[in-house]
Chain A
């Protein structure tokens, strides 16, 4: 699609969203901040009724502000508990704009999605128990680059996904919006309904595009209704459905239906994976309007460039691993170090830091009661403020957990012959980097018939170097045993609250099976199954192929375990170490 076409869709989308903000869930706007995005937001503001609340949710919002809680000032003045509405409740009936949605924390995201699902917020905080209506539409501003994405749970709930990164300012011309038309559409919306065949057609199209979530066809339905209302149709027609497919289904598509299927009327929609037996049945869905079905599918398909699909698939494979296992260690709560992450009531011990302000806040409402009690008990001179142990609020911090880098080194005959020395050099450089970052390292080697833990996780560079230098070479390649050992160690490391990263150096030519038996095919099968298991562990893995001619075996194994693949021949020890570092953070 050209820039102008994308922009025209984006403008349509904002009008449809303005017709039904909470029903359509919202819009995911993937775009760098800049004039294009600003223009879109300004136009959205025009499209929304002037009375509509537009609230901005900052990235680092505290739970109290987001959900609401006790309004301390008003409470002390009034002499009774006064609740303060949170941002979610304030956005009721309006629009909530999430800045930098790709970096929104899991906790904040879940509060927003819970409110979207229930249409209200449930607050159990600061001695208050409140339910407040919170029906709003969301605009998630996603400035992510490459592999940074807004969380899948939020994306799933937003009807329209737009990507404005590809279009320039010149494409983004300012359309004059007819606000009367939009408000007329808003009034008309409740009378519009899609009929059964149209619902079926949307579901069929979604399935054909490999979309699992059922929110997608539901949201497409909402968009189709909004489109019909905006166009002044008396009921939802084909064009409305086609538009909904383009805006809602196309950006979510994971597979392209085979081209000939769409062209042949009377064919069931292309089955996805193992669904053949269900959708293949002749009388399964007899009353589906095939023609309608194809129109929708064609509309969605036209909006999907094939290369985007490939990238998407790669992206979703990468994202399906734990989101937190990135960079240098996952985030963990601690009460000693790191960035501040809220307060918690607790005891003052073991180096915990008191939050004076929060403690005073917690103590404030109870002052009259305590004062009366103390005077009643005969105390004469009272301190200005009466603080009890229950008031203590401890600062919590969020810190990155320690990373443990596990080196799994192939010391078999074939590897030793080729590049063991070079591999050792690379590992040594990496070790030095780990040392600088205060990471722990562990070393496992495999050769002959088994794997051996040469060095349990340690911070001692000297020990690591010694273990590496003394690494003997020769024998068969029990790759499966090596990968199993790495899996067990990674699991152990994680149980200790640390973040494991695995670096595998091998030529990928497995020839010893798990049980120590010889034979390449069985050994390779075992290696593949061990690789799958390692992928299941959800750790970051880098596979360095040390064979002289990096080939299929190394790459296949890397793929199977979801690892980044680095062939050694293209690099000397120094560049290799740089590449590995770039991959693991």
Chain B
């Protein structure tokens, strides 16, 4: 598709939009899972995000998008080239790579370059989707339907931040750190708990039930489909504004302070909900900080925690057979208990 629907033109869906912006501000928050109704604009939002993201600096002609400012994380190619002289850098769009469901393993992790093998009899490594997604986003539509063997691959790489390929006597390892974004419809099956855990935030997406919003969605979609260029041009100003906001938030991120009181509150909240491990607390804190940065605040407050806690925690709850309330309700309850 030549043009994508602008992010700022998406009606409602505030929780999903906020989570995506937070992931764009601080990739360490660790990805977004958007689960919900059909036709509610989940995929649209993710693709729109790609067009919104500010460009990033890479080593020119590096196949793994190495960051010239971080020599410690170079791939092997860049490491060798760096010893021979200064590396040139270039500005490229942040990759938002689609992992289609029918993908085969060789294209995901990378394999021997068939073209060069056939034409020149050379053994060369052809990087896969994981390499392409490094420092960017890896997007899986209908993540709950992804084949198990691909899920296993992803889990492995997402945990180590590195992709290791052993093929035909070729041994390649390259950095592969990406923000995982998944969408899906819960009616078509659940996500494996291990994969669920890899997502920093999880949002529930519902079709707007307010008539005015519904009309606005259809009207904008219709306008976009009949003349997409004019529509995109109309929204260009808002897109630029939003992009500036993301850039500003990234710069401010490290200077946002998290008071001890807030850290304690976050810990209490996680304890009240019985989330497993420290990952919940860490994500909650990071997401709250990114939210504060987005809004230009200098310190993280209870209000930031309260607004981001449902997204950061709802997929980390243990199933409780004595509580038939949904996970969102349980998080809300804990928030009002701990934060008042």
Residues of A within 8 A of B (CB): 63, 66-67, 70, 75, 79-81, 106-107, 110-111, 114, 117-120, 122-129, 151-153, 156, 193-194, 196, 199-200, 202-204, 206-207, 212-215, 217-218, 221, 269, 272, 274-275, 278-279, 284-285, 320, 322-324, 333, 344-345, 365-366, 368-369, 372-373, 388, 390, 484, 487-488, 491, 514, 529-530, 532-533, 536
Contact = CB atoms under 8 A, between A and B. Distances in A.
B85 interface: no
B148 A333 contact: yes
B86 to A, nearest CB: 31
Contact of B114 (A81, A111, A344): A81
B207 A212 contact: yes
Contacts of A200: 215, 219
A203 B38 CA distance: 16
Given A124-B107, A152-B38, A214-B39, A366 B117 contact: yes
A569 B226 CA distance: 63
Interface in B115-148: 115, 117-119, 121-123, 126, 128-129, 141-142, 145, 148
A106 B189 CA distance: 10
A388 B168 contact: yes
A119 B47 CA distance: 14
B217 A106 contact: no
A484 B319 CA distance: 13
Interface in B298-336: 319, 321-322, 324
Given A107-B145, A124-B100, A372-B121, A488 B321 contact: yes
B162 to A, nearest CB: 20
12 contacts: A80-B115, A124-B128, A127-B111, A129-B107, A199-B218, A202-B218, A204-B215, A285-B215, A322-B189, A365-B114, A388-B168, A390-B168
B211 to A, nearest CB: 5
Given A120-B1, A388-B168, A285 B100 contact: no
A530 to B, nearest CB: 8
B118 A79 contact: yes
B291 to A, nearest CB: 27
A514 B322 contact: yes
Given A117-B43, A118-B1, A345 B106 contact: yes
B118 A199 contact: no
A123 B100 contact: yes
A3 to B, nearest CB: 32
A366 B303 CA distance: 60
Interface string B34-45: 000111100100
Given A106-B189, A127-B126, A529-B324, A203 B102 contact: no
Given A125-B107, A365-B117, A514-B322, 15 more contacts: A63-B102, A70-B114, A80-B115, A119-B1, A124-B99, A126-B106, A127-B107, A127-B111, A193-B222, A218-B221, A221-B222, A275-B210, A322-B189, A345-B104, A484-B322
A156 B100 contact: no
Interface of B: 1, 37-40, 43, 98-108, 111-115, 117-119, 121-123, 126, 128-129, 141-142, 145, 148-149, 167-168, 185, 187-189, 207-212, 214-215, 217-219, 221-222, 226, 319, 321-322, 324
Contacts of B114: 70, 75, 81, 127-128, 365
A106 B145 contact: yes
B101 A110 contact: yes
A152 to B, nearest CB: 7
A114 B118 contact: no
A343 to B, nearest CB: 10
A487 B211 contact: no
A263 to B, nearest CB: 20
Contacts, number: 177
Contacts of A152: 38, 187
A284 B114 CA distance: 61
9 A-B pairs with least C-beta separation: A124-B107, A533-B324, A124-B103, A215-B39, A127-B114, A203-B215, A213-B39, A278-B210, A369-B117
Q: Which of A369, A390, A491 has the most CB of B within 10 A?
A: A369
Contacts of B208: 214
Given A80-B119, A221-B222, A213 B37 contact: yes
A269 B211 contact: yes
A373 B38 CA distance: 53
Nearest to B217: A214
A139 to B, nearest CB: 20
Nearest to A108: B102
Q: Which of B104, B107, B324 has the most CB of A within 10 A?
A: B104
Q: Which of A119, A128, A203, A514 has the most CB of B within 10 A?
A: A203
Nearest to A76: B118
Contact of A124 (B37, B39, B104, B123): B104
B211 A204 contact: yes
B1 A111 contact: no
Nearest to B114: A127
A213 B126 CA distance: 42
Nearest to A273: B209
Contact of B218 (A114, A203, A366): A203
B217 A278 contact: no
Contacts of B40: 214
A184 B121 CA distance: 55
B209 A126 contact: no
Given A345-B105, A345-B106, A278 B212 contact: yes
B113 to A, nearest CB: 8
Contact of A213 (B99, B108, B122, B207): B207
